[in-house]
Amino acid sequence: MGLFDKIKGEFIDVIEWTDSSPNTLVYRFHRHNNEIKNGAELTVREGQTAIFIDEGQLADVFGPGMHTLETENLPILSTLRGWKHGFESPFKAEIYFVNMRQFTDQKWGTKNPVTMRDPEFGPVRVRAFGTYAIRVSDPGKFLTEIVGTDGHFTTEDVTDQVRNVLVARFSDAMASSGIPVLDMAANYDELAVKLADHVSADMDGYGIELRTLLVENISLPPAVEEALDKRTSMGVIGDLDKYTKFQTAEAIGDIANNPGGGGAAGAGMGAGMGFAMGNQMAQSMTPSTPAPQGEGTAPPPIPQDPKYFAAIDGQQAGPFNAIAIKAHIADGSVTKETLV
């Protein structure tokens, strides 16, 4: 390498950064031991900010555009360097490019359940997760408070801190919202707004702006969700007494259609269930009469063995006692369609 190439390599006359990565927040321009030439061209693209650092002190900040590095364009650095009447020689300074665009689809979530007091269920533990978008709002503060001297700072270097702040403020936002657990799914947007308000002061201290915050899901422990599913099922069933009678009638029909499957025991069980259902229906149709008051009230009659009539082959048959009706169920002459 000739002398001219050696001298040329020691001076930097073009300073720019082309961002090719999806997650870089701050990039330090590779100057090494080279000096920046007086009158060098600085190119700052849209969505970028260039910051000059002189011996650890924040100096000049440049927005998008093409800048010629002269005394007039470097007022703070000129003051720090003592360039009162301009400078002609090369100089050394660290240059950081800060990415000012939004970084979307950042994940947050609670590692452990958060305990809250619900007006309906009492103390409950909930988990939550969602997404957010951030951008650097104050590049100087972000560089001094978060980045430091890191030459390549990415979103992964700051998302853990943002996630911790979101989780820490989540319980406060939930408590102040006053929204019951069962109504949270319809109020995710309101919760997100409250959570964003709670973390705005923390983000301002880092020089970061929380552009979008979404609450995608709030879940309860599996035991509580199982209890809610049972409660929902009961609501769908409606009248439990009618549902029990329906289930009993279905079971009698299944046993009658398969008399050999359960043998005598199956037939007996079906008959027993039929008797129980018949007694329930009879009781529901019999009007209740008040018992006589005073002395001399007669004791209730001794229960008798019930008798049953059935429509068999289009004719009324009976009466049958329990043993006889069981036999008819077993041989298939009495089925779930038979009027008894």
Question: Is residue 275's pLDDT more than 70?
Answer: no
Mean pLDDT is lowest, of 98-112, 127-141, 265-279, 316-330, for 265-279
Question: Is residue 196's pLDDT more than 80?
Answer: yes
When comparing pLDDT for 156 and 230, which is higher?
A: 156
Q: What residue has token string 């969602």?
A: 130
DSSP state string for 77-88 = HHHHHT-BTB--
**Interval 168-182 mean pLDDT:** 79
Instruction: Report the chain's mean pLDDT, rounded to a whole number.
Output: 79
pLDDT of residue 255: 66
pLDDT of residue 98: 94
Question: Is residue 235's pLDDT more than 60?
Answer: yes
**Interval 293-312 mean pLDDT:** 69
Q: How far apart are CA 330 and CA 321, in angstroms?
A: 14
Structure tokens at 209: 């702006």
pLDDT of residue 7: 46
pLDDT digits 0-9 by tens, 14-40: 999 988 888 899 999 987 677 888 889
Q: Using pLDDT thresholds of 50, 70 and 90, give the confidence band for residue 42.
A: very high
Most confidently modeled range among 44-53, 71-80, 150-159, 229-238: 44-53
Bridge-based pairing of strands 35-44 and 11-15 is parallel
Q: What is the Cα 259 distance to its own chain's centre? A: 53
pLDDT of residue 136: 94
228 CB burial (10 A radius; 0-12, 13-18, 19+): middle
Structure tokens at 16: 């720019």
Structure tokens at 90: 């090369």
User: Nearest 5°: phi and psi at 126?
Assistant: -125, 155
Q: 106 with 132: CB under 8 angstroms?
A: yes
Q: 214 with 192: CB under 8 angstroms?
A: yes
pLDDT of residue 126: 85
pLDDT of residue 5: 47
**Interval 159-179 mean pLDDT:** 84
pLDDT digits 0-9 by tens, 55-68: 888 899 999 999 99
pLDDT of residue 27: 93
**Interval 137-162 mean pLDDT:** 89
SS3 30: coil
Structure tokens at 87: 């400078």
Q: Using pLDDT thresholds of 50, 70 and 90, give the confidence band for residue 4.
A: very low
pTM here? 0.61
Mean pLDDT is lowest, of 58-62, 160-164, 330-334, for 330-334
pLDDT digits 0-9 by tens, 240-255: 666 676 667 777 766 6
End-to-end CA distance of the chain: 113
Between CA 99 and CA 77, with CA 73 as vertex, the angle to 5 degrees is 85
